[in-house]
Amino acid sequence: MPEFEPDARLVDDTYPVTELPLCQLRLMDDTRFPWLVLVPRRAGISEVIELDEADQRQFWREATLVGSVLKECLSGDKLNIATLGNVVAQLHLHVILRRHDDAAWPAPVWGHGQATPYDLDELATIRDLLLAELEAIDWQATT
């Protein structure tokens, strides 16, 4: 069985935040949008339906809790949660906190302008903020 490796494009476009029970949690390198990416640590998976039932439950639990933390910590108007896979086939889930005054509202964030990368201080601040909330969560899905 092949070993899990995150797609190189995800690695290039994001920063690692933490490891959850199923997923790597990564932060998109774009200050315009509070944007997290969940990447299940399962090799060769491109669709949610390819995960077994237990992993599907855990995947959605992690997505729900990450979305709640993002919205609570950074205040926004709407969560956009999506799996696309048109560019990066490896299963990953975007969790994006949108605001009525953000750079792309109300359009999708993809293909809208140029990303504004985090500087090291901004990156440390947002990671610390998220980690403080994430560490208090019981991540295991129940049956």
Q: Could you tell me the CATH superfamily of domain 8-102+115-134?
A: HIT-like (3.30.428.10)
- How would residue 2 be classed by pLDDT, with cut points 50, 70 and 90? confident
Q: Give the global pTM.
A: 0.94
From CA 42, how far away is CA 47, in angstroms rounded?
A: 11
**1: number of CA atoms within 13 Å, CB side?**
6
From CA 77, how far away is CA 71, in angstroms rounded?
A: 8
- How would residue 139 be classed by pLDDT, with cut points 50, 70 and 90? confident
- At 76-125, the pLDDT tens digits run 999 999 999 999 999 999 999 999 999 999 999 998 899 999 999 999 99
From CA 118, how far away is CA 27, in angstroms rounded?
A: 10
